[in-house]
Structure 1
Protein backbone atom coordinates (compact mmCIF):
# COMPACT_ATOMS: atom_id res chain seq x y z
CA UNK A 1 0.00 0.00 0.00
CA UNK A 2 2.86 2.35 0.92
CA UNK A 3 4.59 1.61 -2.41
CA UNK A 4 1.38 2.41 -4.32
CA UNK A 5 0.97 5.69 -2.41
CA UNK A 6 4.57 6.74 -3.11
CA UNK A 7 4.23 5.85 -6.80
CA UNK A 8 1.08 7.98 -7.06
CA UNK A 9 2.77 10.93 -5.34
CA UNK A 10 5.79 10.59 -7.65
CA UNK A 11 3.53 10.55 -10.71
CA UNK A 12 1.57 13.63 -9.64
CA UNK A 13 4.77 15.56 -8.87
CA UNK A 14 6.23 14.55 -12.24
CA UNK A 15 3.15 15.75 -14.13
CA UNK A 16 2.96 19.05 -12.22
CA UNK A 17 6.61 19.84 -12.86
CA UNK A 18 6.55 18.97 -16.55
CA UNK A 19 3.06 20.12 -17.57
CA UNK A 20 2.74 23.23 -19.73
CA UNK A 21 -0.47 25.12 -19.02
CA UNK A 22 -1.94 26.62 -22.21
CA UNK A 23 -5.36 27.85 -21.09
CA UNK A 24 -8.17 27.13 -18.63
CA UNK A 25 -11.51 25.53 -19.46
CA UNK A 26 -14.90 27.19 -19.60
CA UNK A 27 -16.63 24.00 -20.75
CA UNK A 28 -15.73 20.30 -20.63
CA UNK A 29 -17.53 17.81 -22.91
CA UNK A 30 -17.33 14.04 -23.13
CA UNK A 31 -18.24 12.03 -26.23
CA UNK A 32 -18.99 8.34 -26.59
CA UNK A 33 -17.00 7.18 -29.58
CA UNK A 34 -17.22 4.08 -31.73
CA UNK A 35 -14.45 4.03 -34.29
CA UNK A 36 -12.05 1.72 -36.10
CA UNK A 37 -9.07 0.29 -34.28
CA UNK A 38 -6.54 1.00 -37.01
CA UNK A 39 -4.22 -1.91 -36.27
CA UNK A 40 -7.08 -4.42 -36.43
CA UNK A 41 -9.63 -2.65 -38.69
CA UNK A 42 -12.29 -3.62 -36.17
CA UNK A 43 -14.73 -1.52 -34.10
CA UNK A 44 -13.64 -0.12 -30.75
CA UNK A 45 -15.34 1.98 -28.10
CA UNK A 46 -13.67 5.07 -26.72
CA UNK A 47 -14.35 8.17 -24.63
CA UNK A 48 -13.24 11.46 -26.15
CA UNK A 49 -12.82 14.42 -23.81
CA UNK A 50 -13.08 17.93 -25.25
CA UNK A 51 -11.71 20.67 -23.02
CA UNK A 52 -12.81 24.07 -24.31
CA UNK A 53 -10.90 27.10 -23.07
CA UNK A 54 -11.11 30.83 -23.64
CA UNK A 55 -8.95 30.60 -26.77
CA UNK A 56 -7.61 27.01 -26.99
CA UNK A 57 -9.26 23.58 -26.90
CA UNK A 58 -7.89 20.08 -26.35
CA UNK A 59 -9.42 16.83 -27.62
CA UNK A 60 -8.12 13.42 -26.56
CA UNK A 61 -9.00 9.85 -25.57
CA UNK A 62 -9.70 9.37 -21.87
CA UNK A 63 -8.58 5.73 -22.04
CA UNK A 64 -5.26 6.53 -23.73
CA UNK A 65 -4.58 9.33 -21.24
CA UNK A 66 -5.01 6.85 -18.38
CA UNK A 67 -2.67 4.42 -20.11
CA UNK A 68 -0.06 7.17 -20.55
CA UNK A 69 -0.26 7.95 -16.82
CA UNK A 70 0.35 4.26 -16.13
CA UNK A 71 3.45 4.35 -18.33
CA UNK A 72 4.87 7.24 -16.28
CA UNK A 73 4.79 5.19 -13.07
CA UNK A 74 8.28 4.22 -11.77
CA UNK A 75 7.60 0.47 -11.90
CA UNK A 76 5.86 0.50 -15.28
CA UNK A 77 8.36 -1.65 -17.21
CA UNK A 78 8.34 -4.49 -14.68
CA UNK A 79 4.55 -4.48 -14.44
CA UNK A 80 4.12 -4.38 -18.22
CA UNK A 81 6.53 -7.30 -18.69
CA UNK A 82 4.57 -9.32 -16.16
CA UNK A 83 1.24 -8.47 -17.81
CA UNK A 84 2.59 -9.28 -21.29
CA UNK A 85 3.69 -12.70 -20.09
CA UNK A 86 0.20 -13.25 -18.68
CA UNK A 87 -1.30 -12.34 -22.07
CA UNK A 88 1.06 -14.75 -23.84
CA UNK A 89 0.16 -17.61 -21.49
CA UNK A 90 -3.57 -16.90 -21.88
CA UNK A 91 -3.33 -16.97 -25.69
CA UNK A 92 -1.38 -20.24 -25.57
CA UNK A 93 -4.21 -21.72 -23.49
CA UNK A 94 -6.71 -20.77 -26.21
CA UNK A 95 -8.03 -17.41 -24.99
CA UNK A 96 -8.94 -14.67 -27.52
CA UNK A 97 -6.30 -11.90 -27.78
CA UNK A 98 -8.67 -9.08 -26.68
CA UNK A 99 -9.96 -11.14 -23.75
CA UNK A 100 -6.41 -12.00 -22.74
CA UNK A 101 -5.38 -8.34 -22.73
CA UNK A 102 -8.44 -7.32 -20.72
CA UNK A 103 -7.95 -10.05 -18.12
CA UNK A 104 -4.26 -9.13 -17.68
CA UNK A 105 -5.07 -5.70 -16.26
CA UNK A 106 -3.35 -3.80 -19.08
CA UNK A 107 -5.15 -0.46 -19.43
CA UNK A 108 -6.96 -0.11 -22.75
CA UNK A 109 -5.26 2.07 -25.35
CA UNK A 110 -7.50 3.75 -27.86
CA UNK A 111 -6.86 6.72 -30.15
CA UNK A 112 -3.41 8.12 -29.37
CA UNK A 113 -3.93 11.49 -31.04
CA UNK A 114 -4.17 14.67 -28.95
CA UNK A 115 -5.46 17.76 -30.74
CA UNK A 116 -4.95 21.40 -29.68
CA UNK A 117 -7.11 23.81 -31.67
CA UNK A 118 -6.06 27.44 -32.11
CA UNK A 119 -2.57 26.60 -30.86
CA UNK A 120 -0.80 28.37 -32.42
CA UNK A 121 -3.43 30.93 -33.43
CA UNK A 122 -5.57 29.84 -36.39
CA UNK A 123 -3.85 26.45 -36.53
CA UNK A 124 -4.03 23.02 -34.89
CA UNK A 125 -1.17 21.28 -33.10
CA UNK A 126 -1.46 17.50 -33.41
CA UNK A 127 0.43 15.10 -31.14
CA UNK A 128 0.30 11.45 -32.16
CA UNK A 129 2.19 8.22 -31.58
CA UNK A 130 3.39 5.46 -33.83
CA UNK A 131 4.55 2.55 -31.70
CA UNK A 132 7.29 3.97 -29.42
CA UNK A 133 7.81 7.23 -31.33
CA UNK A 134 5.83 10.40 -30.73
CA UNK A 135 5.22 13.02 -33.39
CA UNK A 136 4.03 16.61 -33.62
CA UNK A 137 2.67 18.39 -36.69
CA UNK A 138 0.55 21.40 -37.61
CA UNK A 139 -2.81 21.24 -39.35
CA UNK A 140 -5.46 23.67 -40.58
CA UNK A 141 -8.05 24.98 -38.13
CA UNK A 142 -11.71 24.47 -39.12
CA UNK A 143 -10.76 22.87 -42.44
CA UNK A 144 -14.24 21.39 -43.03
CA UNK A 145 -16.48 23.14 -45.56
CA UNK A 146 -19.94 22.64 -44.03
CA UNK A 147 -23.34 22.77 -45.71
CA UNK A 148 -26.01 23.51 -43.09
CA UNK A 149 -29.36 21.80 -43.62
CA UNK A 150 -32.87 22.24 -42.21
CA UNK A 151 -33.12 18.89 -40.37
CA UNK A 152 -33.16 18.98 -36.57
CA UNK A 153 -33.04 16.49 -33.72
CA UNK A 154 -32.92 16.71 -29.92
CA UNK A 155 -29.83 15.53 -28.00
CA UNK A 156 -29.54 15.92 -24.22
CA UNK A 157 -32.44 18.36 -24.34
CA UNK A 158 -30.79 20.64 -26.92
CA UNK A 159 -32.21 21.22 -30.40
CA UNK A 160 -29.48 20.33 -32.87
CA UNK A 161 -29.32 21.17 -36.56
CA UNK A 162 -27.76 19.04 -39.26
CA UNK A 163 -24.71 19.92 -41.34
CA UNK A 164 -22.83 17.84 -43.90
CA UNK A 165 -19.35 17.93 -45.39
CA UNK A 166 -16.90 15.95 -47.48
CA UNK A 167 -13.57 16.01 -45.67
CA UNK A 168 -10.35 14.21 -46.52
CA UNK A 169 -11.93 11.28 -48.32
CA UNK A 170 -15.01 10.73 -46.15
CA UNK A 171 -18.53 12.15 -46.07
CA UNK A 172 -19.69 13.35 -42.64
CA UNK A 173 -22.85 14.56 -41.02
CA UNK A 174 -22.87 16.59 -37.83
CA UNK A 175 -25.55 17.85 -35.46
CA UNK A 176 -24.76 21.12 -33.71
CA UNK A 177 -26.56 23.22 -31.08
CA UNK A 178 -26.79 26.95 -31.81
CA UNK A 179 -27.89 27.35 -28.19
CA UNK A 180 -24.23 26.80 -27.29
CA UNK A 181 -22.59 29.22 -29.78
CA UNK A 182 -19.10 27.71 -29.64
CA UNK A 183 -17.61 26.55 -32.95
CA UNK A 184 -16.13 23.39 -31.43
CA UNK A 185 -16.41 19.62 -31.73
CA UNK A 186 -14.49 16.39 -31.14
CA UNK A 187 -11.15 15.62 -32.78
CA UNK A 188 -10.29 18.07 -35.60
CA UNK A 189 -13.92 19.03 -36.25
CA UNK A 190 -15.41 22.48 -35.69
CA UNK A 191 -16.29 25.67 -37.51
CA UNK A 192 -20.07 25.46 -37.13
CA UNK A 193 -22.19 28.15 -35.40
CA UNK A 194 -22.67 25.92 -32.37
CA UNK A 195 -21.14 23.04 -30.43
CA UNK A 196 -21.16 19.71 -32.29
CA UNK A 197 -23.20 17.16 -30.32
CA UNK A 198 -23.14 14.26 -32.78
CA UNK A 199 -20.83 13.41 -35.66
CA UNK A 200 -20.35 10.43 -37.94
CA UNK A 201 -19.18 9.52 -41.41
CA UNK A 202 -21.78 8.02 -43.72
CA UNK A 203 -20.15 4.58 -43.50
CA UNK A 204 -20.56 4.68 -39.69
CA UNK A 205 -16.87 3.91 -39.17
CA UNK A 206 -16.26 7.03 -37.08
CA UNK A 207 -19.04 7.95 -34.66
CA UNK A 208 -19.07 10.49 -31.83
CA UNK A 209 -22.01 11.51 -29.64
CA UNK A 210 -21.90 13.81 -26.65
CA UNK A 211 -22.90 12.27 -23.33
CA UNK A 212 -22.08 15.07 -20.93
CA UNK A 213 -21.38 18.82 -20.75
CA UNK A 214 -20.06 20.56 -17.67
CA UNK A 215 -19.08 24.13 -16.89
CA UNK A 216 -15.85 23.95 -14.94
CA UNK A 217 -12.47 25.64 -14.67
CA UNK A 218 -9.51 23.32 -15.16
CA UNK A 219 -6.04 23.82 -16.66
CA UNK A 220 -5.62 22.82 -20.30
CA UNK A 221 -2.22 21.14 -20.32
CA UNK A 222 0.18 20.45 -23.15
CA UNK A 223 1.07 16.75 -23.21
CA UNK A 224 4.61 15.71 -22.40
CA UNK A 225 6.41 12.96 -24.37
CA UNK A 226 6.03 9.54 -22.77
CA UNK A 227 8.51 7.59 -24.89
CA UNK A 228 11.25 10.15 -25.61
CA UNK A 229 12.70 13.54 -24.63
CA UNK A 230 10.73 15.53 -27.18
CA UNK A 231 8.22 15.10 -29.99
CA UNK A 232 9.51 14.47 -33.50
CA UNK A 233 8.49 17.45 -35.66
CA UNK A 234 6.96 16.47 -38.99
CA UNK A 235 4.05 17.37 -41.29
CA UNK A 236 0.74 15.61 -41.88
CA UNK A 237 1.72 14.00 -45.17
CA UNK A 238 4.97 12.55 -43.78
CA UNK A 239 3.20 11.36 -40.65
CA UNK A 240 0.54 9.47 -42.63
CA UNK A 241 3.19 7.81 -44.81
CA UNK A 242 5.17 6.80 -41.70
CA UNK A 243 2.00 5.43 -40.09
CA UNK A 244 1.07 3.38 -43.16
CA UNK A 245 4.57 1.93 -43.36
CA UNK A 246 4.39 0.92 -39.69
CA UNK A 247 1.01 -0.73 -40.19
CA UNK A 248 2.39 -2.91 -42.98
CA UNK A 249 4.77 -4.44 -40.44
CA UNK A 250 2.61 -4.10 -37.33
CA UNK A 251 2.27 -7.81 -36.56
CA UNK A 252 5.99 -8.46 -36.83
CA UNK A 253 6.81 -5.45 -34.64
CA UNK A 254 4.39 -6.57 -31.92
CA UNK A 255 5.68 -10.13 -32.03
CA UNK A 256 9.28 -8.94 -31.64
CA UNK A 257 8.48 -6.60 -28.74
CA UNK A 258 6.01 -8.67 -26.74
CA UNK A 259 6.51 -12.24 -27.88
CA UNK A 260 2.81 -12.33 -28.85
CA UNK A 261 2.20 -13.57 -32.40
CA UNK A 262 -0.65 -11.38 -33.70
CA UNK A 263 -0.14 -11.82 -37.43
CA UNK A 264 1.82 -13.72 -40.05
CA UNK A 265 3.80 -12.44 -43.02
CA UNK A 266 1.10 -13.70 -45.39
CA UNK A 267 -1.75 -11.93 -43.59
CA UNK A 268 0.23 -8.68 -43.39
CA UNK A 269 0.80 -8.58 -47.12
CA UNK A 270 -2.93 -8.81 -47.78
CA UNK A 271 -4.04 -6.44 -45.00
CA UNK A 272 -5.55 -3.09 -45.94
CA UNK A 273 -5.45 -0.40 -43.25
CA UNK A 274 -7.83 2.54 -43.59
CA UNK A 275 -7.01 5.66 -41.59
CA UNK A 276 -9.56 8.30 -40.64
CA UNK A 277 -8.10 10.70 -43.23
CA UNK A 278 -7.99 9.04 -46.64
CA UNK A 279 -6.76 11.91 -48.79
CA UNK A 280 -3.06 10.98 -48.52
CA UNK A 281 -1.86 7.76 -50.20
Structure 2
Protein backbone atom coordinates (compact mmCIF):
# COMPACT_ATOMS: atom_id res chain seq x y z
CA UNK A 1 0.00 0.00 0.00
CA UNK A 2 2.79 2.43 0.92
CA UNK A 3 4.55 1.76 -2.39
CA UNK A 4 1.38 2.81 -4.24
CA UNK A 5 1.14 6.01 -2.20
CA UNK A 6 4.80 6.87 -2.81
CA UNK A 7 4.50 6.09 -6.51
CA UNK A 8 1.48 8.37 -6.86
CA UNK A 9 3.28 11.21 -5.12
CA UNK A 10 6.38 10.71 -7.29
CA UNK A 11 4.29 10.89 -10.46
CA UNK A 12 2.81 14.20 -9.30
CA UNK A 13 6.26 15.56 -8.43
CA UNK A 14 8.06 14.41 -11.57
CA UNK A 15 7.52 17.52 -13.67
CA UNK A 16 8.63 19.81 -10.83
CA UNK A 17 11.72 17.74 -10.08
CA UNK A 18 12.76 17.34 -13.72
CA UNK A 19 12.69 21.08 -14.35
CA UNK A 20 15.39 21.52 -11.67
CA UNK A 21 17.80 19.06 -13.25
CA UNK A 22 20.25 18.96 -16.14
CA UNK A 23 19.30 16.65 -18.99
CA UNK A 24 22.17 14.39 -20.08
CA UNK A 25 20.57 12.01 -22.57
CA UNK A 26 17.44 10.04 -23.41
CA UNK A 27 17.13 6.38 -22.49
CA UNK A 28 16.06 3.59 -24.82
CA UNK A 29 16.14 0.84 -22.18
CA UNK A 30 15.40 0.65 -18.46
CA UNK A 31 16.51 -2.19 -16.17
CA UNK A 32 15.33 -2.88 -12.63
CA UNK A 33 17.45 -4.84 -10.13
CA UNK A 34 16.83 -6.15 -6.65
CA UNK A 35 19.77 -5.16 -4.48
CA UNK A 36 20.41 -6.96 -1.19
CA UNK A 37 23.40 -6.02 0.93
CA UNK A 38 24.86 -6.76 4.34
CA UNK A 39 24.20 -3.76 6.55
CA UNK A 40 25.82 -4.98 9.74
CA UNK A 41 28.61 -7.56 9.80
CA UNK A 42 28.21 -8.10 13.56
CA UNK A 43 24.59 -9.24 13.40
CA UNK A 44 24.52 -10.31 9.71
CA UNK A 45 21.60 -7.91 9.26
CA UNK A 46 20.75 -7.32 5.61
CA UNK A 47 18.94 -4.51 3.82
CA UNK A 48 17.28 -4.33 0.44
CA UNK A 49 16.82 -1.78 -2.30
CA UNK A 50 15.46 -1.43 -5.83
CA UNK A 51 18.01 -0.19 -8.35
CA UNK A 52 17.10 1.43 -11.66
CA UNK A 53 19.49 1.54 -14.62
CA UNK A 54 18.59 3.95 -17.42
CA UNK A 55 20.51 3.18 -20.62
CA UNK A 56 21.01 5.83 -23.29
CA UNK A 57 23.30 6.10 -26.29
CA UNK A 58 25.71 8.48 -24.53
CA UNK A 59 25.00 8.09 -20.83
CA UNK A 60 23.67 5.54 -18.39
CA UNK A 61 22.37 6.39 -14.93
CA UNK A 62 22.13 3.99 -12.00
CA UNK A 63 20.31 4.93 -8.81
CA UNK A 64 18.11 3.75 -5.95
CA UNK A 65 14.38 3.96 -6.64
CA UNK A 66 13.74 4.84 -3.00
CA UNK A 67 16.44 7.51 -2.80
CA UNK A 68 15.09 9.09 -5.98
CA UNK A 69 11.66 9.27 -4.33
CA UNK A 70 13.08 11.15 -1.35
CA UNK A 71 15.12 13.49 -3.57
CA UNK A 72 11.97 14.23 -5.61
CA UNK A 73 10.07 15.01 -2.43
CA UNK A 74 12.84 17.25 -1.07
CA UNK A 75 12.82 19.37 -4.22
CA UNK A 76 9.25 20.55 -3.57
CA UNK A 77 7.86 23.21 -1.20
CA UNK A 78 6.80 22.04 2.26
CA UNK A 79 8.58 18.72 1.77
CA UNK A 80 9.09 18.27 5.53
CA UNK A 81 5.35 18.50 6.15
CA UNK A 82 4.65 16.04 3.32
CA UNK A 83 7.36 13.63 4.50
CA UNK A 84 6.07 13.58 8.08
CA UNK A 85 2.55 12.91 6.81
CA UNK A 86 3.84 9.95 4.80
CA UNK A 87 5.81 8.61 7.77
CA UNK A 88 2.74 8.90 10.01
CA UNK A 89 0.67 7.10 7.41
CA UNK A 90 3.21 4.27 7.22
CA UNK A 91 3.30 3.89 11.01
CA UNK A 92 -0.49 4.00 11.31
CA UNK A 93 -0.93 1.31 8.67
CA UNK A 94 1.92 -1.00 9.62
CA UNK A 95 2.62 -0.34 13.29
CA UNK A 96 5.53 1.10 15.22
CA UNK A 97 9.01 -0.07 14.35
CA UNK A 98 8.37 -0.27 10.62
CA UNK A 99 11.14 0.92 8.32
CA UNK A 100 8.74 1.10 5.37
CA UNK A 101 8.63 4.89 5.24
CA UNK A 102 10.21 7.34 2.78
CA UNK A 103 13.94 7.28 3.47
CA UNK A 104 17.09 7.07 1.40
CA UNK A 105 18.75 3.72 0.92
CA UNK A 106 21.69 3.62 -1.49
CA UNK A 107 22.66 7.29 -1.82
CA UNK A 108 25.03 6.61 -4.70
CA UNK A 109 24.11 7.87 -8.18
CA UNK A 110 26.39 6.54 -10.95
CA UNK A 111 26.55 8.34 -14.31
CA UNK A 112 28.56 6.55 -17.01
CA UNK A 113 29.73 8.78 -19.86
CA UNK A 114 30.43 6.31 -22.67
CA UNK A 115 31.66 8.99 -25.07
CA UNK A 116 34.40 10.23 -22.77
CA UNK A 117 35.07 6.93 -20.97
CA UNK A 118 34.40 8.39 -17.53
CA UNK A 119 32.11 7.85 -14.57
CA UNK A 120 30.75 10.62 -12.38
CA UNK A 121 29.52 9.51 -8.97
CA UNK A 122 27.47 11.48 -6.46
CA UNK A 123 27.19 10.13 -2.94
CA UNK A 124 27.02 11.44 0.56
CA UNK A 125 26.67 10.96 4.27
CA UNK A 126 25.00 12.94 7.02
CA UNK A 127 24.00 16.40 5.74
CA UNK A 128 26.36 16.74 2.76
CA UNK A 129 26.58 15.21 -0.72
CA UNK A 130 29.79 14.82 -2.72
CA UNK A 131 30.82 14.23 -6.33
CA UNK A 132 33.87 12.46 -7.70
CA UNK A 133 35.10 11.00 -10.99
CA UNK A 134 35.94 7.36 -11.56
CA UNK A 135 37.20 5.08 -14.32
CA UNK A 136 34.73 3.53 -16.75
CA UNK A 137 34.85 -0.27 -17.15
CA UNK A 138 37.57 -0.65 -14.53
CA UNK A 139 36.93 -4.36 -13.95
CA UNK A 140 39.25 -6.90 -15.60
CA UNK A 141 36.84 -9.75 -16.27
CA UNK A 142 37.68 -13.37 -16.96
CA UNK A 143 34.89 -15.08 -18.91
CA UNK A 144 34.16 -18.67 -17.80
CA UNK A 145 32.33 -21.61 -19.37
CA UNK A 146 29.32 -21.81 -17.02
CA UNK A 147 25.91 -20.70 -18.29
CA UNK A 148 22.39 -20.21 -16.91
CA UNK A 149 19.12 -18.56 -17.90
CA UNK A 150 17.91 -15.32 -16.26
CA UNK A 151 14.59 -13.77 -17.30
CA UNK A 152 14.61 -15.98 -20.38
CA UNK A 153 18.08 -14.80 -21.43
CA UNK A 154 21.00 -17.19 -21.80
CA UNK A 155 23.82 -15.85 -19.63
CA UNK A 156 27.52 -16.59 -19.28
CA UNK A 157 29.60 -16.44 -16.11
CA UNK A 158 32.53 -14.08 -15.59
CA UNK A 159 34.66 -13.20 -12.58
CA UNK A 160 37.07 -10.49 -11.48
CA UNK A 161 38.79 -8.97 -8.47
CA UNK A 162 37.76 -5.36 -8.05
CA UNK A 163 38.75 -3.02 -5.24
CA UNK A 164 39.11 -5.58 -2.51
CA UNK A 165 36.38 -8.02 -3.46
CA UNK A 166 36.04 -10.99 -5.78
CA UNK A 167 32.99 -10.65 -8.00
CA UNK A 168 30.95 -13.18 -9.98
CA UNK A 169 28.62 -12.00 -12.70
CA UNK A 170 26.18 -13.37 -15.23
CA UNK A 171 25.91 -11.39 -18.47
CA UNK A 172 23.68 -11.85 -21.52
CA UNK A 173 25.56 -11.85 -24.87
CA UNK A 174 22.15 -11.74 -26.59
CA UNK A 175 21.71 -8.22 -25.19
CA UNK A 176 24.77 -6.47 -26.69
CA UNK A 177 24.96 -3.63 -24.16
CA UNK A 178 28.22 -3.36 -22.24
CA UNK A 179 26.74 -2.15 -18.98
CA UNK A 180 25.33 -3.20 -15.64
CA UNK A 181 24.27 -1.98 -12.19
CA UNK A 182 26.41 0.32 -10.06
CA UNK A 183 29.93 0.70 -11.58
CA UNK A 184 29.93 -2.65 -13.36
CA UNK A 185 30.36 -2.95 -17.12
CA UNK A 186 32.86 -3.81 -19.84
CA UNK A 187 31.49 -7.23 -20.80
CA UNK A 188 30.09 -8.20 -24.24
CA UNK A 189 26.54 -8.18 -22.95
CA UNK A 190 24.26 -6.68 -20.31
CA UNK A 191 24.99 -7.77 -16.73
CA UNK A 192 21.88 -9.40 -15.27
CA UNK A 193 23.31 -10.60 -11.95
CA UNK A 194 26.45 -9.80 -9.98
CA UNK A 195 27.60 -10.52 -6.43
CA UNK A 196 30.77 -10.79 -4.38
CA UNK A 197 31.87 -14.22 -3.17
CA UNK A 198 30.39 -13.77 0.29
CA UNK A 199 27.17 -12.28 -1.17
CA UNK A 200 27.45 -9.23 1.03
CA UNK A 201 26.40 -7.26 -2.06
CA UNK A 202 24.06 -8.90 -4.56
CA UNK A 203 22.34 -7.37 -7.62
CA UNK A 204 19.87 -9.44 -9.66
CA UNK A 205 17.69 -8.16 -12.49
CA UNK A 206 13.91 -8.34 -12.16
CA UNK A 207 12.80 -6.46 -15.25
CA UNK A 208 13.94 -5.06 -18.62
CA UNK A 209 11.80 -2.56 -20.47
CA UNK A 210 12.19 -0.61 -23.69
CA UNK A 211 11.53 2.87 -22.41
CA UNK A 212 12.30 6.35 -23.70
CA UNK A 213 12.63 8.87 -20.89
CA UNK A 214 15.04 11.71 -20.03
CA UNK A 215 18.26 10.90 -18.20
CA UNK A 216 18.83 13.74 -15.76
CA UNK A 217 21.73 14.65 -13.52
CA UNK A 218 20.04 14.82 -10.12
CA UNK A 219 20.78 17.79 -7.89
CA UNK A 220 21.27 17.71 -4.14
CA UNK A 221 19.02 19.42 -1.62
CA UNK A 222 21.22 18.77 1.41
CA UNK A 223 23.61 20.98 3.35
CA UNK A 224 25.03 23.66 1.06
CA UNK A 225 22.73 22.36 -1.71
CA UNK A 226 25.73 21.75 -3.90
CA UNK A 227 28.05 18.80 -4.34
CA UNK A 228 31.43 19.09 -2.68
CA UNK A 229 34.19 17.80 -4.98
CA UNK A 230 36.17 14.88 -3.62
CA UNK A 231 38.58 12.11 -4.54
CA UNK A 232 37.08 8.64 -4.45
CA UNK A 233 39.33 7.15 -1.77
CA UNK A 234 39.18 10.26 0.39
CA UNK A 235 35.40 10.16 0.24
CA UNK A 236 35.28 6.47 1.19
CA UNK A 237 37.57 7.06 4.17
CA UNK A 238 35.37 9.91 5.38
CA UNK A 239 32.19 7.88 4.85
CA UNK A 240 33.55 4.94 6.83
CA UNK A 241 34.61 7.28 9.63
CA UNK A 242 31.12 8.75 9.74
CA UNK A 243 29.40 5.36 9.80
CA UNK A 244 31.54 4.21 12.71
CA UNK A 245 30.88 7.38 14.73
CA UNK A 246 27.45 8.70 13.80
CA UNK A 247 26.82 10.06 17.28
CA UNK A 248 29.93 12.23 17.16
CA UNK A 249 28.98 13.66 13.78
CA UNK A 250 25.44 14.44 14.94
CA UNK A 251 26.79 16.30 17.98
CA UNK A 252 29.25 18.24 15.80
CA UNK A 253 26.67 19.23 13.18
CA UNK A 254 23.70 19.99 15.42
CA UNK A 255 25.37 21.08 18.64
CA UNK A 256 23.22 18.60 20.55
CA UNK A 257 25.14 16.85 23.32
CA UNK A 258 24.02 13.22 23.28
CA UNK A 259 26.27 12.44 26.24
CA UNK A 260 25.64 9.37 28.33
CA UNK A 261 22.01 9.23 27.22
CA UNK A 262 23.09 8.06 23.80
CA UNK A 263 22.34 4.38 23.21
CA UNK A 264 23.84 4.28 19.74
CA UNK A 265 23.96 0.72 18.48
CA UNK A 266 27.42 -0.56 17.60
CA UNK A 267 27.50 -1.70 13.99
CA UNK A 268 30.34 -2.91 11.81
CA UNK A 269 30.25 -1.54 8.27
CA UNK A 270 31.99 -3.14 5.31
CA UNK A 271 31.81 -0.82 2.29
CA UNK A 272 31.33 -2.23 -1.19
CA UNK A 273 34.79 -0.85 -2.11
CA UNK A 274 37.61 -1.72 0.26
CA UNK A 275 40.64 -0.09 -1.38
CA UNK A 276 40.77 3.08 0.73
TM-score interval for Structure 1 and Structure 2 normalised by the shorter chain = 0.7 to 0.9
- Counterpart position of 1:20: 22
- Alignment-derived partner of residue 56 in structure 2: 53
- Farther off after superposition, 212-221 or 39-48: 39-48
Helix, strand or coil at the partner of 1:116: strand
Moved more, 193-202 or 253-262: 253-262
More deviation, 109-118/74-83 = 74-83
Matching residue of 1:109: 104
Unaligned runs of 5+ in 2: 1-8
**2-side partners of 1:82 and 1:259: how far apart?**
28
Q: Which residue of 206, 209, 216 maps to 1:214?
A: 209
Kindly indicate whether the alpha-carbon contact (under 8 Å) linking 2:33 and 2:51 is maintained by their aligned counterparts in 1: yes
CA distance in 2, matches of 1:259, 1:30: 42
Match of 1:3 in 2: none
- 1:195-230 alpha-carbon deviations (Å, 9 max, x no partner): 001111110111111111111211110011121332
How many Å apart are 1:33 and its aligned residue?
Answer: 1.1
Does the 8 Å CA contact 2:181/2:191 hold for their aligned counterparts? yes
Q: Which position in structure 1 is the counterpart of 2:233?
A: 237
- Output the CA distance in 1 between the equivalents of 2:120 and 2:114: 6
1:42 matches 2:45: yes
CA drift of 1:247 comes to 1.2
TM-score (norm 1): 0.81
Deviation at 1:68, TM superposition (A): 1.4
| 1:180 match: secondary structure | coil
Which digits, 9 at most, give the CA deviation of each residue in 1:234-259, with x for residues without a partner?
A: 11011011102211221455688699
After TM superposition, the structure 1 = structure 2 runs for residues 1-281 of structure 1, keeping only pairs within 5 Å, are 11-37=13-39, 42-80=45-83, 96=97, 99=98, 101-102=99-100, 106-118=101-113, 121-227=116-222, 228-253=224-249, 264=263, 268=266, 271-280=267-276
Aligned CA distance change for structure 1 residues 144 and 158 (closer, same or farther; 3 Å): same
C-alpha separation between the residues in 1 aligned to 2:11 and 2:88?
Answer: 28
Structure 1: gaps (5+ residues): 1-6
| SS class of match (2:58) | coil
TM-score, L = length of structure 2: 0.83
| SS of the residue 1:176 aligns to | strand
Question: How far is 1:178 from its partner?
Answer: 0.4
Contact preservation (8 Å) 2:233, 2:275: no
- More displaced 10-residue stretch of structure 1: 13-22 or 150-159: 13-22
